Structure 1
Amino acid sequence: MSTNDPADVTTTSEQPARTGERDLGQLVVVAVLVVLGLYMIISTWDVVAGFEGGDPLGPRFFALFVGIGLLVLAALYTVSILRGERGEEEAGEDVDLEGGAHWPTVVQLVALVALNVLLIDFLGWAITGALLFAGGAWIIGSRTPVRDLAIGAVLSVGSWYAFYVGLGVPLPPGVLDGIL
């Protein structure tokens, strides 16, 4: 049985997007979207059509779709920014939203990725991927290195096979060439 009692009505805590002062710094994101969209559209014309007749849309369709989509998103985001609309602030459970970035952690993660880039040709993706996962986990606070290395090894070898066998994209095998 239903009643029209106002006490039975539940309310949600969702708030509409805030309006007010314009945050023009977000236009940098718009510029990145425009550059990426234009790059995708322009570079699509260099794609050589493969199996004619087997694919009615051709290989350029998806890249054009994504490039145009990026430009449309950039336009919509620009309108939203210029109107002064701002999204709702993220509510963090265990994160201090008032605090800034912990720059030592950021620097360590960037250094870890740079080290991965330097070592990937020699050691290969399977090894550097495992080290990347374990090192990243250690930097952000995990203190179980054996488990982290095991998980990293499973993920990196699995992704190596997914790319190499599943997609036909060779990742560097490094010192494990012939073993993988």
Structure 2
Amino acid sequence: MTTTEPTGRTEEAPEPRNWRTWLREHSELGVCVMLLALGVVVLTDALTMDVEIAQRGPIGPRTVPVAVGIGLLAVSVLLAVDVLRGGRGEAEGGEDIDLSEPADWRTVLLLAGVFLATAVLIEPVGFPVAGALLFWGAAYALGSRAVHRDPLIAAGLSLVTYAVFNNLLGVPLPGGPLMGVL
């Protein structure tokens, strides 16, 4: 669209802004929506939690999830206000990464496969074995190639984690068939 000034010059009028442009300039609002939805889910889950444990004192099993849910809602609202007032997140500069390089999808897929395998195997083989596979697989996916050392460290980490959670913290983890032998 052009306009003519009294001096006879023709200038281009700025194009009207559409919703796509506005949303692109305020893309951080997507994070706000995600945080808001997550806060609602956490609060709903915390408030509808079936609590069978006798509560001693003012802090019960709902306290932390409710606090986290309220925190998520508060951060969502504060971030939305900042974005709507013109605030923008600073672009990631990266200390030791080259942002012009593509993502390393091989590593991402290997890690995802290791996590999925752990989720599938934890019940039938138990945490010590599944945890060892998780630790070793993550080390391998992230570039470690110490074939003799990594499985031993992974097994040690997994057994220590199992013992701490199962025996010291009272969080029962599936032991699997090997725990009958040990």
TM-score bracket, normalised by the shorter chain, equals 0.7 to 0.9
Distance 1:91 1:41 in 2: 35
Aligned to 1:164: 166
Distance 2:71 2:178 in 1: 41
Distance 1:167 1:112 in 2: 26
- Pair 1:88–1:154, CA change in 2 (3 A): farther
Give 3-state SS (helix, strand or coil) of 2:180's partner: coil
Query: What's the CA shift for 1:23?
Result: 4.2
Aligned to 1:71: 73
Give 3-state SS (helix, strand or coil) of 1:174's partner: coil
Distance 1:147 1:23 in 2: 49
Query: What's the CA shift for 1:49?
Result: 5.9
Distance 1:175 1:56 in 2: 41
Aligned to 1:14: none
**Larger Cα-atom Rg:** 2
Deviates more, 1:95-104 or 1:68-77: 95-104
Matches within 5 A, 1:6-155: 22-24=25-27, 26-45=28-47, 46-48=49-51, 50-52=53-55, 54-155=56-157
Aligned to 1:4: none
- The letter of the residue matching 1:22 is E
Query: What's the CA shift for 1:93?
Result: 3.8
Give 3-state SS (helix, strand or coil) of 2:97's partner: coil
Please provide the CA RMSD for this pair. 2.2
Query: What's the CA shift for 1:91?
Result: 3.9
Give 3-state SS (helix, strand or coil) of 1:58's partner: coil
Deviates more, 1:151-160 or 1:83-92: 83-92
Runs of 5+ unmatched residues, structure 1 = 1-20
Q: Structure 2-normalised TM-score?
A: 0.74
Q: Number of residue pairs matched?
A: 158
